[in-house]
Amino acid sequence: MALISLEDLEGLDDDQLEDISDNPEPMDGDDRLLSHWQAVASTHQVTVPTEMTGPIHEMTRNNHQREPVPFAPISRHEKMGEVQYEERVYPAGYWACVTREEVLYEQSISMGFMKLMRFICKENSAGRFLGMTIPVISNVHLTDDGNTFKKDVETAFFLPAEFQTNPPQPSDPDIRILHREPMRVIARTFFGTTTEETVGRQISLLWEIVGVADDLCPNNYMVAAYENPGVPSRRNEIWFIRRGM
């Protein structure tokens, strides 16, 4: 989902506002935020309902509260001065997870993240804004031929450090709070959109770089998103998971 501040909206001219909304009536800041999200979501064939207005405003207002998911660097592999991939270990901890099975991969991650947004923005047992961590992770599975995405896609975010010892519970029964063991991953950065086509291409590219590796999980990958889809050339990573710590 795109994220645009109230200050950004104030700086848009009439033509730009018409581009993000078909509503001819004057709109306040919240309405314009919702219209912008709806416009961006429509490119993924996703509808953003009006009840997302509150979470969108809350996430925008607190955009500065983005806590990096902690990790321990293991190694960095370069070729001709360019980083090919990094190896890291992410600690054990609690994740908020939701699985969707939409027609398109990008629909699944969009719908899943909207559910997580509502959880983050007060639809939780703590009754408060929890804060955001980055990256947001999507867990994707490929069929045995390695060419086709399975429909079930899990989207997850690591709970902020404040809530790791006592995780708040979600109001939405589709969201699960899971404790995961440490993960050792190979991570390669890429920029741009995260569609089934682009993610599949990045998986193939990283296999070409890494080569044969029996200790990497086949057909199970993670996509790490650091920025919102409205950001041009946004930063993402493809993660391969090492089996056995």
Whose CA is closest to 245, among 92, 137, 76, 77?
92
125: how many CB neighbours lie within 10 A of its CB? 11
Beta strands in the chain (DSSP E): 66-68, 72-79, 82-90, 93-100, 132-134, 136-141, 153-158, 176-180, 183-191, 216-225, 235-242
Whose CA is closest to 183, among 226, 134, 245, 141?
245
Q: State both tokens at 29.
A: 């800041």
Tens digit of each residue's pLDDT (9 = 90 or more) over 25-54: 434 445 676 666 666 666 666 666 677 666
pLDDT of residue 227: 82
Tens digit of each residue's pLDDT (9 = 90 or more) over 79-124: 988 999 999 999 999 999 999 998 888 888 888 888 998 899 888 9
**Residue holding tokens 């993000």?**
20
The domain ranges of the chain are 6-61, 66-242
Q: Where are the alpha helices (DSSP H) in the chain?
A: 6-10, 14-19, 29-42, 53-61, 105-120, 196-210
CATH topology of domain 66-242: Multidrug-efflux Transporter 1 Regulator Bmrr; Chain A (3.20.80)
Query: Does 153 or 51 have the greater pLDDT score?
Result: 153
How far is CA 188 from each of CA 65, 181, 191, 217, 229, rounded to the nearest angstrom?
Answer: 25, 22, 10, 16, 18
